[in-house]
């Protein structure tokens, strides 16, 4: 059976890179006696995939991993055992059986929510509000996007689905993500800093991912434009 | 919120921040209440190297089982972080509490190789501690060390308050109890504490001894305790029986993939072989095995408690473990049921081990390793390496017929008694093995060319071996020898199937100087560090000039320590240590070496090395 696991990555754990997170979960599943399925072949590995790697330095309360089990284990029991064997900062939040035909998290993820605190940058709530509304009144928001191979200028405005600033200065962003048009929050904040005339390299923001979403598909080829949390697919195991 | 010694901005701007944050599974955080001894245990190299070391995990686990002790870990910060720490005045910290090292009661180092000595100074500097014990304050942490390098502590003796000689399981409890007693009340007198510590077995307090030399650049003439109650000889301590000894059933599991990313099962200590160049084979005598049933239980426990997917056996020569077949059968079955891997280093190549290797690894991807150490039988007899050409060729035949076509060979250059014939013999033996493959395996069954990977290191004479009196070759001599091997390789028929590599000669010579040095070297180490030497064990950071300059600036000759055969009656800087193996035995072995006379291993016949007095192990078998 296929299972989706939601977990958080907080505090000092934000400095653990994606490969180390995978390494951690492979060991955590074994420590917790979760009946994980293995691939066949000469060197069997656990059947496991992660929705979207989180950059080093970012916190999250909405990380997802899909795994396959060989036997049934109740959600409550699995969460209990995994949290018992986990470390401070990584907590299992949900453990749900996926419908057989469900697309895996990695393939379906298409949007992510972020909460960004001004942290050490010293920006006030008013300055950020003014900056953001100014930035979005521009026709386009062009940034330099670096990939492993090259760098190119792109307009990210269409991929910023929502933005707002709370009273305390916390910025909220809903961004396009996944295999196409993957927009990192640092990119948006960099553009904002640049617009406001601050150093674009300013990395003092404290960024937290809140959740990941897939698009609500009405029928093949037709999307509703709404986003559904990856956590809403699947049912707790009794 | 947990304390963080380094702020986010620093952690985001250094390589592999995961080295410095702690919080790993099975790492231990205690609350301050009831803790009388805070111990910072340091492996003076990078996290991924230190975390691969079993000894540290054993002591970490044992110390933390004691309610009044909290042991934490410290590693050398890599150069990027060290620079930032200096610029911003951030003191070095322990991983668990993230508290500054300077606040601890003890700072303990494990010294596994000579080339880490400048890293010790880096740790002291970044902790805000003076290098020399005489310059440190009464309330600074007690600086102590253990590990194989303590079998000649003299080059760094001036930096340490205490040197622990022997197995850590034995005397630490007594030391901590003494410390608590001395700390009781307002006035702690470090000098009084150290004086009393010198009475505990295995503990050497360098400041309580005086050295004299025949002349400023001459040999040691006397090594004497300053007070009558301080022992003239320091005896190595060890567990005479490993059964029931403390073992880390819950080893720490690093987040990052480290050098040894697996559960390590120590099956025995010591070695019966008596190779004359090998320090470990002498200083860990006698061979003591762990109980089979205990090992099975420990293996399962550790795999469950860590979730790691690989287990490795650890010992100096696993084939000599008397219950190896039963242990391996058990592990293979357990690994199959639980989708785990097994790695079996230091196995002698024979029918049994090849059969086992076939079961646990992919023949196509793996290689079979031999360590003949010398190119001819004559020289192998000199070094007492009980491995004949017949053994090697027989092992290779079996490996080739079993499907392997990659053979790794390890040799040493610069051994005592070595001739040009022995040097060329390295190439000829490599050739003999390559041609054996083509003789044995018909063309249609070959999977490409046979691959012989031959590598040589340069011999470094070590204290407490029969070769402790020997002259070490110079860098130029070493390189010339390597070139002879290389030229001879090229002259071989199958040279295209053989790859030859050799180690850095300058590191080997320096290692030799530090291994057999005396107290006069401490200022060279300090000078080398000031000249920029650090992480000397890493090829990319080793700077020979820093060291050469340090020797010339201090007016000390490196050749005095390396290129000089010691006289039989010379007082050696490490003679005050009693390892259990007698000087007479080592001397007799040196003479046997010169005559090419082989000494039987401990199971064949006792040679009276002296280790029998420890009342355990192979000396009392059968």
* Residues 6 or more apart whose Cβ sits within 8 Å of residue A26: A46, A48, B307, B309
pLDDT at residue A199, as a whole number: 59
| Of the listed ranges A173-177, B359-363, B533-537, the one predicted with least confidence | B359-363
CA–CA distance, A114 with A116 (Å, rounded to integer): 6
Please report whether residue A178 resides in a domain.
Answer: yes
Q: Which residue has the higher pLDDT, B448 or A53?
A: A53
Residue A139 has pLDDT above 80, yes or no: yes
Closest CA to B171 of B196, B143, B200, B150: B200
pLDDT at residue B236, as a whole number: 98
Residue of A nearest to B304 (CA): A31
Residue of A nearest to B11 (CA): A15
Angstrom CA distances, A124 to A170, A174, A193, stand at 10, 21, 13
Q: Which two tokens stand for residue B563?
A: 């290129």
- The minimal CB distance from B2 to the residues A12, A24, A26 is found for A12
Instruction: Let me know whether B249 and B228 are in one domain.
Output: no
Cβ–Cβ of B18/A20 closer than 8 Å?
yes
Partners of A87 on chain B (C-beta within 8 Å) are 23-25
Q: Which two tokens stand for residue B573?
A: 């800087």
Angstrom CA distances, A165 to A142, A185, A203, B155, B574, stand at 21, 14, 18, 63, 70
Where helices occur in chain A by DSSP H, the ranges are 18-31, 75-84, 105-108, 125-137, 185-196
> Which of B22, B253, B255 would best serve as a mutation to test chain A binding (most A beta carbons within 10 A)?
B255
- The minimal CB distance from A57 to the residues B12, B309, B339 is found for B12
Instruction: Let me know whether B341 and B460 are in one domain.
Output: no
Mean of pLDDT values over B477-487:
97
Q: Which two tokens stand for residue B485?
A: 């091997």
User: How many Å lie between the alpha carbon of A25 and the closest alpha carbon of chain B?
Assistant: 9
Indicate which CATH number applies to the domain containing A67.
Answer: 3.30.70.580
Instruction: Supply the angle between the helices B544-554 and B505-515 in degrees, to the nearest 10.
Output: 40
pLDDT single digits (tens) B540-574:
999 999 999 999 999 999 999 999 999 999 999 99
Closest CA to B204 of B222, B230, B181: B230
- Whether B21 has its CB under 8 Å from any CB of chain A: the answer is yes
Determine contact, residues B205/B161, Cβ cutoff 8 Å. yes
pLDDT at residue B348, as a whole number: 85
CA–CA distance, B21 with A13 (Å, rounded to integer): 9
Q: What is the mean pLDDT of chain B?
A: 96
User: How many Å lie between the alpha carbon of B305 and the closest alpha carbon of chain A?
Assistant: 6
pLDDT single digits (tens) B221-266:
999 999 999 999 999 999 999 999 999 999 999 999 888 889 999 9
**Full residue range of the structural domain in which residue B601 is found:** 239-360+580-622
Instruction: Let me know whether A8 and A46 are in one domain.
Output: yes
Partners of A29 on chain B (C-beta within 8 Å) are 307
Please report whether residue A72 resides in a domain.
Answer: yes
Instruction: Let me know whether B283 and B353 are in one domain.
Output: yes
Cβ–Cβ of A27/B362 closer than 8 Å?
no
H or E segment to which residue B59 belongs: helix B54-65
Residue of B nearest to A45 (CA): B339
Q: Give the residue from B235, B257, B278 where a domain finishes.
A: B235
Cβ–Cβ of A12/B4 closer than 8 Å?
yes
pLDDT at residue B597, as a whole number: 96
pLDDT at residue A122, as a whole number: 82
- Whether B3 has its CB under 8 Å from any CB of chain A: the answer is no
Backbone angles phi, psi at B87, to 5 degrees: -60, -40
pLDDT at residue B1, as a whole number: 62
Cβ–Cβ of A87/B308 closer than 8 Å?
no
pLDDT at residue B344, as a whole number: 87
Please report whether residue B549 resides in a domain.
Answer: no
Angstrom CA distances, B16 to A103, A216, B20, B174, B538, stand at 34, 39, 8, 38, 17
CA–CA distance, A82 with B34 (Å, rounded to integer): 31
Please report whether residue B455 resides in a domain.
Answer: yes
CA–CA distance, B101 with B98 (Å, rounded to integer): 9
Instruction: Let me know whether B227 and B272 are in one domain.
Output: no
pLDDT at residue A181, as a whole number: 87
Determine contact, residues A217/A223, Cβ cutoff 8 Å. yes
pLDDT at residue A149, as a whole number: 79
Indicate which CATH number applies to the domain containing B209.
Answer: 3.40.50.280
Of all residues in chain B, the percent with pLDDT exceeding 90 is 91
Partners of A19 on chain B (C-beta within 8 Å) are 257
Mean of pLDDT values over A94-107:
92
Residue A236 has pLDDT above 90, yes or no: yes
Instruction: Let me know whether A61 and A131 are in one domain.
Output: no
Q: Give the residue from B503, B521, B550 where a domain finishes.
A: B503
User: How many Å lie between the alpha carbon of B75 and the closest alpha carbon of chain A?
Assistant: 18
C-alpha torsion angle, residues B11, B13, B16, B17 (rounded to 10): 0
Determine contact, residues B380/B339, Cβ cutoff 8 Å. no
- Whether A201 has its CB under 8 Å from any CB of chain B: the answer is no
Q: Is B576 exposed, middle or buried (0-12, 13-18, 19+ CB in 10 A)?
A: buried
- Whether B337 has its CB under 8 Å from any CB of chain A: the answer is no
Instruction: Let me know whether A171 and A143 are in one domain.
Output: yes
CA–CA distance, B85 with B72 (Å, rounded to integer): 20
Number of domains in chain A: 2
Partners of B21 on chain A (C-beta within 8 Å) are 12, 15
| Of the listed ranges A195-209, B176-190, B587-601, the one predicted with least confidence | A195-209
What are A5's strand-pairing partners? A65, A95
Residue B194 has pLDDT above 70, yes or no: yes
Closest CA to B45 of B522, B518, B541, B504: B541
Instruction: Let me know whether B256 and B384 are in one domain.
Output: no
Residue with tokens 């970012």: A58
CA–CA distance, B414 with B482 (Å, rounded to integer): 10
Residue A198 has pLDDT above 80, yes or no: no
- Whether B97 has its CB under 8 Å from any CB of chain A: the answer is no
Indicate which CATH number applies to the domain containing B338.
Answer: 3.30.750.210
Residue B329 has pLDDT above 80, yes or no: yes
Instruction: Let me know whether B462 and B491 are in one domain.
Output: yes
Instruction: Let me know whether A87 and A148 are in one domain.
Output: no
Residues 250-279 of B with CB under 8 A from A: 253, 255-257
Instruction: Let me know whether A100 and A159 are in one domain.
Output: no
CA–CA distance, A234 with B9 (Å, rounded to integer): 39
Instruction: Let me know whether B228 and B247 are in one domain.
Output: no
Residue A201 has pLDDT above 60, yes or no: no
Of all residues in chain B, the percent with pLDDT exceeding 70 is 100
pLDDT at residue B328, as a whole number: 95
Which SS3 state, helix, strand or coil, does residue B45 take? coil
Eight-class DSSP state of A231? G
Partners of B362 on chain A (C-beta within 8 Å) are 42-43
User: How many Å lie between the alpha carbon of A21 and the closest alpha carbon of chain B?
Assistant: 8
User: How many Å lie between the alpha carbon of B263 and the closest alpha carbon of chain A?
Assistant: 12
CA–CA distance, B606 with B602 (Å, rounded to integer): 5
pLDDT at residue A79, as a whole number: 98
pLDDT single digits (tens) B144-158:
999 999 999 999 999
**Full residue range of the structural domain in which residue A169 is found:** 119-204
Please report whether residue B20 resides in a domain.
Answer: yes
Closest CA to A4 of A84, A87, A80, A92: A92
- Other C-beta atoms lying within 10 Å of the C-beta of residue A13: 23
Residue of B nearest to A34 (CA): B307
Please report whether residue B564 resides in a domain.
Answer: no
Please report whether residue B510 resides in a domain.
Answer: no
- The minimal CB distance from A16 to the residues B2, B18, B306 is found for B18
User: How many Å lie between the alpha carbon of B57 and the closest alpha carbon of chain A?
Assistant: 19
Residues 94-133 of A with CB under 8 A from B: 120
Mean of pLDDT values over A83-99:
97
CA–CA distance, A97 with B11 (Å, rounded to integer): 37
Instruction: Let me know whether B207 and B282 are in one domain.
Output: no
Q: What is the mean pLDDT of chain A?
A: 91
Instruction: Let me know whether A99 and A123 are in one domain.
Output: no
Residue A219 has pLDDT above 80, yes or no: no
pLDDT at residue A203, as a whole number: 64
Angstrom CA distances, B438 to B408, B454, B493, B582, stand at 17, 18, 12, 48
Instruction: Let me know whether A98 and A143 are in one domain.
Output: no
pLDDT single digits (tens) B373-419:
999 999 999 999 988 999 999 999 999 999 999 999 999 999 999 99
Residue A200 has pLDDT above 70, yes or no: no
User: How many Å lie between the alpha carbon of A118 and the closest alpha carbon of chain B?
Assistant: 14
Please report whether residue B563 resides in a domain.
Answer: no
Determine contact, residues A195/A134, Cβ cutoff 8 Å. yes
Please report whether residue B512 resides in a domain.
Answer: no
Mean of pLDDT values over B512-529:
98
Is the four-CA dihedral A41, A46, A52, A53 of positive or negative sign?
A: negative
pLDDT at residue A145, as a whole number: 81
Q: Which two tokens stand for residue B334?
A: 């357990």
pLDDT at residue A70, as a whole number: 96
Mean of pLDDT values over A108-121:
92
Which SS3 state, helix, strand or coil, does residue B548 take? helix
pLDDT at residue A32, as a whole number: 98
pLDDT at residue B472, as a whole number: 98
Instruction: Let me know whether A156 and A189 are in one domain.
Output: yes
User: How many Å lie between the alpha carbon of A195 and the closest alpha carbon of chain B?
Assistant: 23
Partners of B338 on chain A (C-beta within 8 Å) are 30
> Which of B1, B3, B23, B302 would best serve as a mutation to test chain A binding (most A beta carbons within 10 A)?
B23
User: How many Å lie between the alpha carbon of A137 and the closest alpha carbon of chain B?
Assistant: 32
> Which of B3, B4, B7, B8 would best serve as a mutation to test chain A binding (most A beta carbons within 10 A)?
B8
Instruction: Let me know whether A57 and A87 are in one domain.
Output: yes
Instruction: Let me know whether B189 and B273 are in one domain.
Output: no
Please report whether residue A214 resides in a domain.
Answer: no
Closest CA to A227 of A116, A115, A112: A112
Please report whether residue B568 resides in a domain.
Answer: no
Instruction: Let me know whether A131 and A187 are in one domain.
Output: yes
Instruction: Let me know whether B331 and B430 are in one domain.
Output: no
CA–CA distance, B54 with B265 (Å, rounded to integer): 9
Number of domains in chain B: 3
Instruction: Let me know whether A134 and A46 are in one domain.
Output: no
User: How many Å lie between the alpha carbon of B344 and the closest alpha carbon of chain A?
Assistant: 17
Prediction ipTM score: 0.92
DSSP states along A121-173: G---HHHHHHHHHHHHHSS--EEEEE-SS-EEEEE-GGGEEEEEE-TTS-EEE
Cβ–Cβ of B307/A88 closer than 8 Å?
no
Cβ–Cβ of A12/B309 closer than 8 Å?
no
Instruction: Let me know whether B381 and B460 are in one domain.
Output: yes
Mean of pLDDT values over B202-229:
96
Please report whether residue A213 resides in a domain.
Answer: no
Q: Which two tokens stand for residue A166?
A: 């709370």
Beta-carbon contacts below 8 Å between A and B: 70
Residue B132 has pLDDT above 90, yes or no: yes
- The minimal CB distance from A31 to the residues B9, B17, B307 is found for B307
- Whether B25 has its CB under 8 Å from any CB of chain A: the answer is yes
Which SS3 state, helix, strand or coil, does residue B488 take? helix
pLDDT single digits (tens) A148-194:
778 888 899 999 999 999 999 999 999 999 988 899 999 999 899 88
CA–CA distance, B29 with B71 (Å, rounded to integer): 9
Indicate which CATH number applies to the domain containing B422.
Answer: 3.20.20.70
Q: Give the residue from B187, B207, B235 where a domain finishes.
A: B235
Instruction: Let me know whether A15 and A89 are in one domain.
Output: yes
Determine contact, residues A143/A102, Cβ cutoff 8 Å. no
Cβ–Cβ of B25/A56 closer than 8 Å?
no
CA–CA distance, A203 with A186 (Å, rounded to integer): 8
What are B143's strand-pairing partners? B107
Residue of B nearest to A21 (CA): B255
């Amino acid at each position: 059976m296929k299972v989706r696991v939601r977990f958080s990555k907080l505090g000092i754990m934000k400095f653990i890179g994606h490969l180390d997170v995978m390494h951690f979960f492979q060991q955590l599943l074994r420590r917790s006696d979760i009946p994980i399925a293995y691939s066949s072949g000469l060197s069997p590995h656990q059947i496991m995939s992660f929705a979207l790697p989180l950059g080093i330095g970012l916190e999250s309360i909405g990380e997802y991993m899909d795994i396959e089990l060989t036997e049934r284990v109740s959600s409550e029991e699995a969460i209990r055992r995994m949290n018992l064997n986990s470390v401070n900062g990584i907590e299992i939040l949900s453990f749900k059986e996926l419908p057989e035909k469900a697309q895996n998290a990695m393939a379906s993820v298409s949007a992510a929510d972020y909460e960004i605190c001004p942290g050490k940058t010293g920006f006030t709530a008013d300055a950020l509000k003014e900056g953001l509304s100014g930035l979005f009144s521009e026709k386009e928001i062009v940034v330099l996007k670096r990939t492993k191979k090259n760098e190119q200028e792109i307009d990210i405005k269409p991929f910023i689905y929502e933005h707002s600033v709370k009273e305390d200065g916390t910025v909220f962003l809903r961004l396009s993500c996944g295999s196409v048009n993957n927009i990192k929050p640092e990119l948006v904040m960099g553009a904002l800093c640049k617009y406001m005339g601050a150093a674009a390299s300013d990395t003092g923001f404290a960024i937290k991912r809140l959740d990941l979403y897939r698009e609500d598909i009405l029928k093949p080829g037709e999307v509703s434009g709404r986003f559904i949390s990856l956590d809403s697919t699947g049912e707790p195991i009794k | 919120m947990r304390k963080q010694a380094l702020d986010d901005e620093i952690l985001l701007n250094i390589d592999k921040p995961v080295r410095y944050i702690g919080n790993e599974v099975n790492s231990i955080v205690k609350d301050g209440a009831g803790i009388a001894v805070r111990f910072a245990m340091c492996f003076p190299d990078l996290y991924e190297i230190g975390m691969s070391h079993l000894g540290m995990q054993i002591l970490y686990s044992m110390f933390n089982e004691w309610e009044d002790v909290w042991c934490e870990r410290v590693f050398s910060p890599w150069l990027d972080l060290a620079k930032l720490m200096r610029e911003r005045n951030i003191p070095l910290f322990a991983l668990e509490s993230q508290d500054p090292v300077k606040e601890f009661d003890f700072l303990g180092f494990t010294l596994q190789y000579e080339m880490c000595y400048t890293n010790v100074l880096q740790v002291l500097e970044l902790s805000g501690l003076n290098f020399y014990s005489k310059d440190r304050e009464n309330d600074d942490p007690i600086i102590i060390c253990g590990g194989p390098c303590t079998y000649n502590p003299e080059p760094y003796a001036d930096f340490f308050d205490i040197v622990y000689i022997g197995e850590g399981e034995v005397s630490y409890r007594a030391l901590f109890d003494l410390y608590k007693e001395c700390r009781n009340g307002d006035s702690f007198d470090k000098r009084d504490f150290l004086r009393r510590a010198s009475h505990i077995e295995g503990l050497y307090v360098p400041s309580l001894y005086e050295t004299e030399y025949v002349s400023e650049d001459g040999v040691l003439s006397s090594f004497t305790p300053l007070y009558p109650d301080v022992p003239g000889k320091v005896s190595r301590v060890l567990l005479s029986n490993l059964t029931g000894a403390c073992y880390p059933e819950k080893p720490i599991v690093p987040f990052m993939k480290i050098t040894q990313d697996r559960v390590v099962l120590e099956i025995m200590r010591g070695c019966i072989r008596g190779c004359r160049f090998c320090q470990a084979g002498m200083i860990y005598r006698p061979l003591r095995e762990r109980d089979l049933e205990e090992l099975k239980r420990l293996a399962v426990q550790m795999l469950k408690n860590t979730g790691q997917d690989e287990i490795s056996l650890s010992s100096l020569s696993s084939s000599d473990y008397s219950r190896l077949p039963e242990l391996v059968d058990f592990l293979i079955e357990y690994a199959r049921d639980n989708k785990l891997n097994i790695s079996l280093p230091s196995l002698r190549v024979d029918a049994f081990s090849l059969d086992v290797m076939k079961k646990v690894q992919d023949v196509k991807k793996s290689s079979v390793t031999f360590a003949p150490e010398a190119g001819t039988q004559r020289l192998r007899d000199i070094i007492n390496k009980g491995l004949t050409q017949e053994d090697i060729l027989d092992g290779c035949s079996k490996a080739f017929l079993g499907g392997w076509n990659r053979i790794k060979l390890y040799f040493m250059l610069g051994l005592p008694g070595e001739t040009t014939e022995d040097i060329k013999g390295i190439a000829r033996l490599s050739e003999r093995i390559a041609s054996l493959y083509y003789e044995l395996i018909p063309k249609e069954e070959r999977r490409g060319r046979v691959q012989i990977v031959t590598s040589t290191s340069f011999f470094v004479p070590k204290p407490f071996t029969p070769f402790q009196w020997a002259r070490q070759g110079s860098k130029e001599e070493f390189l010339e020898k390597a070139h002879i091997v290389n030229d001879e390789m090229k002259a071989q028929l199958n040279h295209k199937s053989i790859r030859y590599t050799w180690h850095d000669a300058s590191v080997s010579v320096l290692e030799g100087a530090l291994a057999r040095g005396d107290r006069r070297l401490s200022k060279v180490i300090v000078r080398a560090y000031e000249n920029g030497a650090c992480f000397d064990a890493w090829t990319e950071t080793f700077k020979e000039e820093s060291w050469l300059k340090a020797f010339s600036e201090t007016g000390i000759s490196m050749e005095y320590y390396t290129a000089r055969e010691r006289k039989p009656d010379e007082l050696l800087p490490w003679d005050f240590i009693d390892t259990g193996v007698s000087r007479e035995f080592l001397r007799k072995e040196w003479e046997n070496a010169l005559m090419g006379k082989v000494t039987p291993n401990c199971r064949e016949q006792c040679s009276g090395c002296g280790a029998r007095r420890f009342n355990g192990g192979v000396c009392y078998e059968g």
